Amino acid sequence: MCYDRGMDRTRSALVLTLLGLAAGLFFWLTDPTLGIATGLMSPEVNRIDAARRAWTGTWIGLIGSAIAVVLGLWNISGLRGLRSREM
């Protein structure tokens, strides 16, 4: 049985990229000012206060998601160069 370590790394980099995209989509959709959460809020909720409270968490989540996507893409592209050097 042949074990291909490069294929596992590529798969994990792809999973990291997809999870980063999914997390970014989650933070974008649930933000009171940017996403669909604005339409789902009850009328009693002050949207300005909700946006102010959610701002920090949303941007930290979006930045963290972007970092995960960049690292995943960097690992995918870096592994392609590594494979061509090994052959």
> What is the per-residue pLDDT across 52-82, written as a single tens digit (0 to 9) for each?
777 888 888 889 899 999 988 888 887 555 5
pTM beyond 0.85: the answer is no
Range of the domain at 73: 17-86
What's the mean pLDDT in 29-47? 67
Over the chain, what is the mean pLDDT? 76
Quick check: is 8 in a domain?
no
Quick check: is 75 in a domain?
yes
The band of 30, judged by pLDDT with boundaries at 50, 70 and 90, is confident
Quick check: is 56 in a domain?
yes
Quick check: is 69 in a domain?
yes
Looking at this protein, which amino acid is placed at residue 58? T
- The rounded distance, in Å, linking the Cα atoms of 43 and 57 is 23
Quick check: is 11 in a domain?
no
| Contact yes or no for 74/12 (Cβ under 8 A) | no
pLDDT at 46 over 60: yes
Quick check: is 82 in a domain?
yes
Looking at this protein, which amino acid is placed at residue 15? V
| Contact yes or no for 85/29 (Cβ under 8 A) | no
- Please identify which residue in the block is written with the tokens 């920090």: 56
**Per the structure, how many domains does the chain have?**
1
- Output the pLDDT for position 18: 92
Quick check: is 7 in a domain?
no
19: tokens are 């999870």
